[in-house]
Amino acid sequence: MAATRHKPGSLLGSLLGLIGFSAIAGILVSATLTPALAVASTTANSGLDVFESLPSYAQITQQAERNRIYGVKDGQPVEIASFYEQDRQVLQWQQVPRTAVEALIAGEDRRFYTHGGVDAPSVVRAGLSQLGVGSESGASTLTMQLVRQQIAMDAFIRGDTELQAAQYTESYQRKLSEMRLAIGLEQRYTKNEILLAYLNIANFGGNVYGIQSGAQRIFGKPAAELSIAESAALIATVQNPSTRNLFTAENWPRNQERRDFIINQMAAEGYITGEQRDEALAIPVDENFVNLQPSNNGCIVGYDSARFFCDYVQRVLRQDKVDGHHILGATAEDNSAALYQGGYQIYTSLDVNLNDAVQASVDELVPNDETRWQSGAAVTQLEVGTGRILSMVQNKDYSPTETAPPTATSVNFNADYSHGRSGGFQPGSGFKIFTLAQWIIDGHSVNEQLDATREEWPRGTFKAECTGLISEAWDPQNNEGNEYARMTPTEIMVNSVNTGIVRMASEMDLCDIHDTAERMGTTPADGGDWQIFAPSVIGSGSNVSPMGMAEAFATIANGGIHCEPLAIDRIVARDGTEVQPPSQQCQQAITPEVASVMQLVLETVTERNPLNNPAGSTPVISKTGTTNGVVQTWVNGASPTVATSVWVGNIVGNYSLQSRWNVRSTIFKGAMEEAIARYPGGDFLTPDAETVRGNSSELPNVAGQPVDAAKAALEQLGFTVQVSNPIDGLQAEGLVEYTAPGAGSLVTTTTPIIIYPSNGALAAGAEPEQTQAPADPAAQTWPNVVAQPLADAGAALSAAGFDPAGIQVTWQDHGEANVCRVLAQNPLPDTAGQPGDPISLVVGTNAAGGDPGC
């Protein structure tokens, strides 16, 4: 590079500087023949002490390269993105085209193969040009230029901007240090090794470095295929990349001027023939000459469906730690320097096939160009037992730019703020699983009968010892104003009954519920503390992420063991060594017994909601979530092998998704079917009987006892007992027909018991003609339909010759196990009847009463 010429007024200073420069340079030039002079200890008189504060190494360092991220497609690793500070692909000597080597020597250092790192004639010419003698000239050899670029690159990697800038400021001291280090390089490496390092480190404009990336980005081909004209045009750039790079059309004339000079020099040196020279010179540097290719740097140009996952992986690499240390370096600075240096191959957990399938579903059902509302959708899928992230998609395109259109964003809706800059979304009823978990942990039964009627809870009802706060008065309601009576926790979860969950929470500490949620993997998405107050138990508290909800369901499916999400399987450094990624972190969050009962309940939830139940025989647990006004909607669930969280809602705003309520279910069902097809097998645990029972016991059977005696017996056991008005019954008048809950139901002493006395209307003997044996043995008799489902009972009656239209049903809540089952019949089995006779059946219903859909 040419030295700066001094103004005439500074001639004396230049002369004095030249004397010192020439003296020291003379020593260094001589050192190419007598190396000991360059490192002599008598530096005080020569001025070489000025070097002692500069880098003392003289070696070819590793050069910054691309980092590459891989997913798995069709069972094989596939690159989904690359990212780098300097776009460089390091070549080996045999991969470098001869034309590039010859263009570099002819254009930059004709005596490269004959000097020892410092070219004496060039030093003299450079010194004289400072005095205005001769033409402008620089003294830098290729080896000296390589030294300067290596120092600048190392300074860049370390973040030393001052040292980096100093490499491009002309001074005698900088030149002398370059000479000294260049001599060291020449003594340590072969000429070809130095040329290779230069071609790999050289800048070709912007952040494109190295002849391979330059060839690919500017000419759309590998370096090995470069022509004479293309090689010369690239080498023409290195002297001044900012004004001669080929990425800007206004630079093309300047590049061609320098390129043509290099081509002529190549011919003068005998590297090419006159015919080749003329042929190359005849090609203009224009739009037909260059073939510019877009940058492949970063997630924004990565594999289409994997761009948000790519961003997640980058954040893991930059901030996550292994055993207290950053992944690629002991400190944050070391970690950043390693990423800048690059050359890592990062193999991730992403199942690209699964990701593509889920992305297609989200794109179809929640298009990113929706204008009525700021539509959002996200899906996270985790491998149960490992926490590996199998898919991560959302409806918006990935764009980290400030000018991103409404169809794009840089915010990853799947992750929390630290890993995606998302503040999360209210979980709605999806949060109820944590109240269920704590209910079971505290020893309650999921089949215990609870009062789910609506009531206003007075101030101070709910306990939250970790906050010290007193709960406010609260009047919770159910969706669409539905009213319920007695229900089991299983029924409460199936029907997502707010008033039932509130009843359960009133018997526990709200802090325990939130602690359990955190152990299972769900935390506030903003990284702060839980907002703990009574309405939070029905999902009106802190915002959460799809990742967090998927973690919780993976914990349930995994027998209560929570595994932290894992995005990276392996990291391989450029030298082939393995770098330890974040290791699998799994710990028992809830006991296997508690998990087994949660599986039982949440599998029932799925079975009772066909919209969320994937095809096939694989068991699936699930729970929906909807916030007030249908602003945010969720379905979260898991098979024994894959957990899935689906969120569809408002990014901002409160647009009601009432008409699109089931979009979440369509996405969830499809995503689970895709996952089960790829990760089949597995079973949930057998429910632990003792945990199912909890602190409840079976209600004694008092049917047929006098009402007062039955009431006293139950009260002696600690129950609160009420007696209803008499009903038509099979028992004699004044005796107990049945109780609610029914005999054998799991109850606690807090469960209110209602006795239903019989008025004897259906008692045996009330209609003697129906209890007598038929005179004709071939005459019709009533079949026994007790304990049969109502539909089967109708078929049995029809098969026995009776008209099912004559069935008269009395509905009675006898517990979840007896819903739609016949509890009693009149006429009794095996008694005579006529085809058109009516029959009265007592059939089980749920707490809502009436026909539950039998």
With cut-offs at 50, 70 and 90, classify the pLDDT of residue 6: very low
Q: Mean pLDDT across the stretch 67-79?
A: 97
Instruction: Note the pLDDT of residue 165.
Output: 57
182: its two tokens: 């260049």
Residue of higher predicted confidence among 73 and 165: 73
Q: Indicate if the pLDDT at residue 590 is higher than 70.
A: yes
Instruction: Note the pLDDT of residue 164.
Output: 53
Instruction: Note the pLDDT of residue 279.
Output: 98
DSSP at 331: S
Where b means 16+ CB within 10 Å and e means fewer, 793-803 reads: bbebbeeeebe
Q: Indicate if the pLDDT at residue 100 is higher than 60.
A: yes
Question: Residue 493, Cβ neighbours under 10 Å: how many?
Answer: 26
Instruction: Note the pLDDT of residue 157.
Output: 64
- Taking the C-alpha atoms of residue 623 and residue 636, their distance in angstroms, rounded to an integer, is 6
DSSP at 735: B
What's the alpha-carbon Rg for the chain, to the nearest Å?
Answer: 40
Q: What is the pLDDT of residues 447-476, one digit of tens each?
A: 888 889 999 999 999 999 999 989 999 999
**Strand pairing partners for 378?**
394, 647
Instruction: Note the pLDDT of residue 8.
Output: 39
333: its two tokens: 């600075």
Where b means 16+ CB within 10 Å and e means fewer, 819-845 reads: bbbbbbbbbbeebbbeeeeebbbbbbb
Question: Residue 453, Cβ neighbours under 10 Å: how many?
Answer: 14
Q: What is the pLDDT of residues 721-767, one digit of tens each?
A: 999 888 888 889 999 988 877 787 778 887 778 898 999 887 766 55
DSSP at 742: P
Instruction: Note the pLDDT of residue 633.
Output: 98
Amino acid at 448: E
- Taking the C-alpha atoms of residue 382 and residue 384, their distance in angstroms, rounded to an integer, is 6
Q: Indicate if the pLDDT at residue 150 is higher than 90.
A: no
Residue of higher predicted confidence among 317 and 62: 317
Instruction: Note the pLDDT of residue 140.
Output: 84
DSSP at 780: -
- Taking the C-alpha atoms of residue 188 and residue 182, their distance in angstroms, rounded to an integer, is 10
Q: Indicate if the pLDDT at residue 81 is higher than 90.
A: yes
Q: Indicate if the pLDDT at residue 177 is higher than 60.
A: yes
CB of 467 closer than 8 Å to CB of 532: yes
Q: Indicate if the pLDDT at residue 142 is higher than 70.
A: yes
Q: What is the pLDDT of residues 7-58, one digit of tens each?
A: 433 444 444 444 444 554 554 555 444 443 443 333 334 444 433 443 434 5
DSSP at 501: H
**Strand pairing partners for 645?**
380, 636
**What is the reported pTM?**
0.78
Dihedral sign for Cα atoms in the order 365, 368, 372, 373: positive
The pairs formed by 123-129 with CB atoms below 8 angstroms and a separation of 24 or more are 123/22, 123/25, 123/29, 124/22, 126/3, 127/18, 127/21, 127/22, 127/25, 129/2, 129/3, 129/5
Instruction: Note the pLDDT of residue 845.
Output: 85
